[in-house]
């Protein structure tokens, strides 16, 4: 509005100078000094008043019935909080990009799997109207343990039966399994693009199919009693962001290079200071949502170290998602601090603490969580602003 007022005054002056149907000389002669003074007197006050009127409080509800998202603290319709999210297993292979539905991800995970490759899991809220979700691949049990704290319906396309059957068939774990069988039914949730294909990276679903499948399975769309129904992280609002400036040991963190932990995908993030978020890349290119063509962005980044082991000759891994002693890092607003984390049961949120023992405050927005190996292991090194963190 301030710019509009200024433009209006400029336009008035131009009209007076050059007239309407008159020569420029005639217009200048016809413009009195009093009129110029009137314009100068009125403009600043009007501009200041209009500027004050147009100030938007981003921490105030934008409309009736809007509430803070449990998982991002952003304003959402109340129904979004009342509806369980879905936990979607996305492949991270280069040929599987771009993918659909990523803009609705509230919390995003990347964890290594067998064969020096990693995989992604997105916790999607407000998913019911999505026109396509996926492509979708298999799950590992440690992703299930990571997902349960969000009380989701898990959407995946199979997995190594020996290691995931036990957790997926528990009565408290609701899952839609694209391959069906002993790990759970697909309940008609999936389709192939192109139709009839059986190759990798061609399995998809959408909001309508998931809703129908949940109904057929008899799963509840409402959060269960085991879900706390409170903010998942300790959040702060837009008007009082956590800049990490209160931490004397905070370091600059505008370039996050995770290639040492994820050597195939070379996941990385760059801080966009103007927007106050980190932009995600894979294979050196922007990671985008195929539905919106928007690059993934995150307000918060967590690098979470944990114990892991190799289970068998096939290279299947195990990651310890419940712990009270391991460390990591928290990154936001161009800064990074050291943290520790704990998770004591399946449904309690993983909680992160600074070195003073205080729970870390997350900024409003989406969160990227990298679960990586303990120091000294094969895929445990990463760089922040060119500095390697390995020991």
Can you give the pLDDT at residue 14? 35
* Residue 374: count of CB within 10 angstroms of its CB: 13
Can you give the pLDDT at residue 23? 40
With a CB cutoff of 8 Å and minimum separation 6, the contacts of 358 are none
Can you give the pLDDT at residue 56? 67
Can you give the pLDDT at residue 53? 54
Please tell me whether residue 341 adopts helix, strand or coil conformation: strand
Low-confidence ranges of the chain (pLDDT < 50): 1-51
Distance CA 306, CA 314 (A): 21
Q: Contact 167/161 with Cβ under 8 angstroms?
A: no
Tokens 């992703």: give the residue: 143
Backbone phi, then psi, for 160, in 5-degree steps?
Answer: -65, 105
Can you give the pLDDT at residue 209? 98
Question: What percent of the chain stands above pLDDT 90?
Answer: 76
Can you give the pLDDT at residue 264? 95
Q: Assign residue 131 a region: left if phi > 0, alpha if psi is -120 to 50, beta otherwise?
A: alpha
190-202 residue pLDDT tens: 999 988 888 788 9
15-45 residue pLDDT tens: 333 334 434 443 333 333 344 344 444 444 4
Can you give the pLDDT at residue 26? 39
């Amino acid at each position: 509005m301030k710019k509009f007022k200024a433009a209006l005054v400029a336009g008035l002056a131009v009209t007076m100078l050059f007239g309407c149907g008159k020569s420029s000389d005639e217009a200048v002669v016809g413009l009195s000094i009093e009129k110029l003074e009137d314009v100068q007197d009125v403009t600043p006050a009007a501009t200041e008043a209009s500027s004050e009127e147009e100030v938007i409080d981003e921490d105030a509800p934008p409309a009736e019935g809007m509430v803070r998202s449990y998982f991002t603290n952003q304003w959402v319709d109340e129904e979004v909080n009342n509806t369980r999210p879905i936990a979607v297993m996305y492949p991270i292979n280069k040929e599987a990009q771009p993918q659909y539905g990523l803009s609705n991800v509230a919390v995003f995970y990347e964890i290594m799997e067998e064969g020096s490759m990693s995989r992604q899991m997105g916790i999607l809220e407000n998913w019911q109207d999505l026109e396509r979700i996926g492509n979708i691949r298999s799950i590992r049990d440690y992703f299930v343990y990571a997902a349960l704290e969000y009380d989701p319906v898990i959407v995946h396309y199979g997995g190594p039966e020996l290691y995931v059957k036990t957790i997926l068939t528990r009565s408290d774990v609701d899952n839609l399994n694209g391959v069906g069988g002993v790990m759970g039914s697909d309940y008609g949730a999936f389709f192939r693009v192109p139709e009839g294909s059986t190759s990798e990276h061609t399995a998809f679903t959408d909001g309508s199919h998931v809703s129908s499948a949940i109904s057929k399975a008899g799963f509840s769309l409402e959060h269960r009693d085991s879900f706390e129904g409170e903010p998942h992280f300790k959040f702060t609002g837009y008007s009082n962001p956590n800049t990490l400036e209160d931490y004397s040991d905070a370091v600059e963190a505008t370039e996050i290079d995770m290639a040492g932990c994820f050597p195939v995908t070379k996941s990385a993030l760059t801080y966009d200071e103007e927007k106050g978020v980190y932009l995600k890349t894979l294979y050196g290119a922007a990671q985008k949502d195929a539905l919106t063509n928007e690059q993934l962005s995150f307000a918060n980044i967590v690098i979470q170290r944990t114990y892991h082991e190799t289970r068998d000759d096939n290279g299947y891994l195990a990651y310890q998602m419940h712990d009270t002693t391991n460390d990591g890092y928290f990154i936001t607003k161009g800064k990074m601090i050291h943290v520790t984390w704990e998770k004591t049961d399946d449904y309690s949120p993983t909680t992160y603490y600074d070195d003073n023992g205080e729970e870390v405050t997350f900024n409003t927005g989406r969160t990227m969580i990298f679960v990586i190996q303990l120091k000294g292991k094969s895929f445990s090194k990463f760089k922040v602003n060119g500095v390697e963190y390995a020991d």
